[in-house]
Amino acid sequence: MAAVVQLEAIQKTYNSGEVPVHAVRGVSLSIQRGEFVALMGASGSGKSTLMNMLGCLDHPTSGRYLLDGIDASALDRNALADIRNQKLGFVFQGFNLLSRTTALENVELPMLYGGRHLTAREMRERALHSLEIVGLAERSDHFPNQLSGGQQQRVAIARALVNRPEVLLADEPTGNLDSKTSVEVMGVFQKLNDQGITIIMVTHELDIAQYCKRNLILRDGRLVSDVQVKDRLISATELAKLKTAEADARLTGN
Ligand code: ADP
Ligand code: MG
């Protein structure tokens, strides 16, 4: 099986200060399609640096990164932007929704970039479908300040899905949420992962990592642990709720 993410001896050194900072020191790693990976490690261990490279936002200093078979380490800035748009979806700790814009319009945004040539109607339908997947279709005309934190993060997840990415990258997606809401959001990720999407997320929280399938730990820019999660936690309540929402939608024909 071809890996969707393959890192080969990735190093990243920042030379902006007086002394070089070796933020990532030789990480090699394969992630197959359908995996659900938590990336952990203390502050300063290189998680964000690694995620920036996985997200095609930055080049490694040395090493090779294959994303869905394409050598991203060899691409120029424009080509990186294209591959990012086609293959990746991003979810952030702070949701990053536009505040004067409805949930639906927020979700439509990524389709305005990347030259997809969709009609306004096609964009609207796809955005609505994304909102349906995260159980928020009925809130599509709400503004972010009319939504709870968990609902805002679900809108952000719908936005990340709308270009049908291969991989979802999430940097502390539950960092601003209380523990109950965090578990609900993990339920949304688990549902998406069950549907085949590959997810890589940074988290500080050990219990949240237990909802993923594989846990990686970075220390001082090196991968020091890589384990499959035993006795994985499942966000059953959230799954049941989403199933009910889908059943309701079918009954009412919406
Ligand atoms: P984490 O996300 O695990 O907290 P980071 O990847 O942000 O770790 O940082 C890893 C190391 O690289 C830290 O020592 C940090 O200070 C340094 N670093 C991160 N970004 C930069 C930058 N743009 N310029 C210089 N040093 C940086
Ligand atoms: Mg960080």
Closest-CA residue, ligand 1 atom 11, reads 23
As a whole number of angstroms, the distance between CA 164 and CA 130 comes to 9
Atom of ligand 1 nearest to the CA of 218: 3
pLDDT of residue 34: 96
Mutate to test the pocket of ligand 1, among 12, 27, 49 (most ligand atoms within 8 A of CB): 49
Q: What is the pLDDT along the chain (254 residues), one digit of tens a residue?
A: 679 999 999 999 999 999 999 999 999 999 999 999 999 999 999 999 999 999 999 999 999 999 999 999 889 989 999 999 899 999 999 999 999 999 999 999 999 876 668 899 999 999 999 999 999 999 999 999 999 999 999 999 999 999 999 999 999 999 999 999 999 999 999 999 999 999 999 999 999 999 999 999 999 999 999 999 998 999 875 556 556 666 666 655 55
Closest-CA residue, ligand 1 atom 6, reads 46
Domain count, the chain: 1
Closest-CA residue, ligand 1 atom 23, reads 14
Identify whether the C-beta of residue 3 lies closer than 8 Å to the C-beta of residue 27. no
pLDDT of residue 112: 86
Residue 41 CB partners (closer than 8 Å, separation 6+):
47, 217, 218, 219
- Predicted TM-score (pTM) of the model is 0.91
Q: Which domain holds residue 198?
A: 3-252
Closest-CA residue, ligand 1 atom 25, reads 14
Residue 27 CB partners (closer than 8 Å, separation 6+):
7, 9, 10, 11, 50, 63, 218, 221, 222, 223
CATH of the domain at 197: 3.40.50.300
pLDDT of residue 253: 54
Atom of ligand 1 nearest to the CA of 50: 6
Which of these, 159, 170, 231, lies nearest to 202 by C-alpha position? 170
CA 43 to ligand 1 center in whole angstroms: 9
CA 28 to ligand 2 center in whole angstroms: 19
**DSSP per-residue codes, 191-202:** HHHHTT-EEEEE
Q: Is 41 in the pocket of ligand 1 (CB under 6 A)?
A: yes
Q: Is 44 in the pocket of ligand 1 (CB under 6 A)?
A: yes
pLDDT of residue 242: 58
Distances (CA, A) of 141 to 45, 88, 106, 127, 162: 40, 26, 10, 12, 17
Give the pairing type, strands 36-40 and 214-219.
parallel
Q: Is 23 in the pocket of ligand 1 (CB under 6 A)?
A: yes
Ligand nearest to the CA of 42: 1
pLDDT of residue 2: 76
Tens-place pLDDT, residues 38-74: 999 999 999 999 999 999 999 999 999 999 999 998 8
- Please state the length of the chain: 254
Ligand nearest to the CA of 45: 1
Tens-place pLDDT, residues 1-26: 679 999 999 999 999 999 999 999 99
pLDDT of residue 124: 96
CA 115 to ligand 2 center in whole angstroms: 31
CA 43 to ligand 2 center in whole angstroms: 7
pLDDT of residue 237: 58
Atom of ligand 1 nearest to the CA of 41: 3
CA 44 to ligand 2 center in whole angstroms: 7
Atom of ligand 1 nearest to the CA of 45: 3
